[in-house]
Amino acid sequence: MSKITFLGAGSTVFAKNVLGDCLQTPALQGFEIALFDIDHERLQDSANMLNNIKKTSGSTSIIKAYTDRKEALRGAKYVVNAIQVGGYDPCTITDFEIPKKYGLRQTIADTVGIGGIFRNLRTIPVMLDFAADIREVCPDALFLNYTNPMAVLTNVMNTYGGVRTVGLCHSVQVCVPHLFEHLDIDQTGVKAKIAGINHMAWLLEVTKDGVDLYPEIKKRAAEKQKEKHKDMVRYEMMLKFGHYITESSEHNAEYHPYFIKRSYPELVDRFNIPLDEYPRRCIDQISRWKQMREDLVNDANLTHERSHEYASYIFEAIETDVPFKIGGNVMNTGLITNLPREACVEVPCLVDRNGVTPTYVGDLPPQLAALNRTNINTQLLTIEAAITGKREHIYHAAMLDPHTSAELSMDDIVAMCDELIEAHGKWLPEYK
């Protein structure tokens, strides 16, 4: 029996989408769906929910919850990762509150920036433990990483974990539909090419019947900027740098040095930037969980419609050898020629029985590659810190981050990192 293992299965809503999709997919019938989470109550919630969907969908797959991670992984053909190390309390709170004391404000803090750095540092050791288990009990498994910070964790699993890994993010899938819907443009028959790095990939080309749609997109975007809306940062970046970015404005506000500035506080209002957005989302999700739990876990008649998540389509393409195209995060083996080869990049990939095959992109426009490199610098130094255990590389990663370095002195960056290391305590390994 083939096996799909889901690590972080206590993420019940996400497990419903990814594994509910698998239960709906003909090519994946008869699989074992193995669930693992360190929170045993949430683990059982997800198992109950999926068994409800199994019943209503008529799936022949088997749902099994494990409290032993290695046994959950043993013999797996596919592994899906959706963990969050440290959760909202205490780690996310720490990532926001200590930088705020130094005058550094954030929106999401899960990719780069000081929050992204420390999320990486507490997650990488756990991921490398996963990798050790996988090499032992399912060495040929394909590892699908959904956990942020996407680029760094996918890089680490490939480079240091010895595990065949592709990182998956929603932003590529929804980029064109959301943009066209907001600008009231018909997206029927539109062709698009997207590449870059995770959360900062670029809509390089967008055409219909051979006609470049960018002039009309920019015209409508410029008009939209006259009134406040939720995508003002991305529109501003497109109008200044020439291309639209895949990930949301609240994310991109903190990836660049241009928008969240103590010396220009009016920019936050001008570009409608939601500071401290991620903690608000966490609080809202926690408050809504009681009702969501009742709706998801205790509804014996729960149904599911296949979502846009890539996982089940990847598994289906490999099982059936019917090709499927994705936007995947993979190592830059010469795929984007003006980004570092040691970086993880987000490019179009073809999936079939051979697995996930990335496609060649070539050079990005020079200004876009330059913007990507500012974030890659911090990503690579964060990996260096995690692998060497040297505290100085944490400082380097933070000092090279565009937003952090634009706001704080080097001495304040070092002091802030030291305070964050102390506050995270047991969530981090020891750094010398």
- DSSP codes, 140-185: TPEEEE--SSHHHHHHHHHHTS---EEE--SHHHHHHHHHHHHTT-
Q: What is the pLDDT of residue 1?
A: 84
Whether 278 has a pLDDT exceeding 90, the answer reads: yes
For the cut 90, the answer to whether the pLDDT of residue 317 exceeds it is yes
Q: What pLDDT band is residue 142 in, cutting at 50, 70 and 90?
A: very high
Q: What domains are defined for the chain?
A: 3-85+109-168 (3.40.50.720), 86-108+169-431 (3.90.1820.10)
377-413 pLDDT, tens per residue?
Answer: 999 999 999 999 999 999 999 999 999 999 999 999 9
Asked whether the predicted pLDDT for residue 191 surpasses 90, the reply is yes
* Predicted local confidence at residue 372, as pLDDT: 98
Residue written as tokens 């994705």?
Answer: 326
The CA distance from 116 to 386, in Å, is 13
Alpha-carbon gap, residue 108 to 119, rounded angstroms: 11
CB 256 within 8 A of CB 403: yes
Q: Which listed residue (40, 170, 243, 251) is catalytic?
A: 170
Burial class of residue 158, CB neighbours in 10 A (0-12, 13-18, 19+): buried
**Alpha carbons within 13 A on the beta-carbon side of 325:** 8
The binding site for substrate consists of 148
Query: What's the half-sphere exposure (Cβ side, CA atoms, 13 Å) at 318?
Result: 17
Confidence of residue 141 (pLDDT cuts 50, 70, 90): very high
Q: What value does the mean pLDDT take over residues 247-263?
A: 98
Q: How far is CA 276 from the centre of its chain?
A: 18
Instruction: Average the pLDDT over 147-163 and give the result.
Output: 98
- Residue numbers in the known binding site are 148, 169, 199
Q: How confident is the model at residue 281 (pLDDT cuts 50, 70, 90)?
A: very high
Binding residues for Mn(2+): 169, 199
Strand 78-81 vs strand 3-7: parallel, antiparallel, or unpaired? parallel
Arithmetic mean of pLDDT, 92-116: 98
User: What pLDDT was estimated at residue 274?
Assistant: 98
Higher pLDDT, 290 or 250: 250
Q: Which amino acid is at 354?
A: N
Averaged pLDDT for residues 294-318: 96
DSSP 377: H
Question: What confidence tens digit (pLDDT) does each residue in 347-387 have?
Answer: 999 999 999 999 999 999 999 999 999 999 999 999 999 99
Contact call for residues 297 and 12 (beta carbons, < 8 A): yes
d(CA 358, CA 328): 8
Kindly give the pairing relationship between strand 165-167 and strand 142-145: parallel
Q: pLDDT at position 321, please?
A: 98
Rounded alpha-carbon distances, angstroms, from residue 97 to 53, 261, 262, 407, 420: 40, 17, 16, 16, 10
Mean pLDDT over the full length of the chain? 97
Annotated catalytic residue 170: yes
Prediction pTM value: 0.98
pLDDT band at 108 (very low <50, low <70, confident <90, very high): very high
Q: Identify whether the C-beta of residue 203 lies closer than 8 Å to the C-beta of residue 244.
A: yes
> What pLDDT is attached to residue 130?
98
HSE, side-chain direction, 13 A CA sphere, residue 428: 28
For residue 364, the 8-state DSSP code is: P
Q: Which one-letter DSSP state was computed for residue 26?
A: G
Residues 295/288, Cβ–Cβ less than 8 Å: no
The Cα–Cα gap between 190 and 260 comes to: 34
CA distance 171 to 263: 31
Residues 177, 185: Cα–Cα separation, whole Å = 9
Q: To the nearest whole percent, how much of the chain has pLDDT over 70?
A: 100
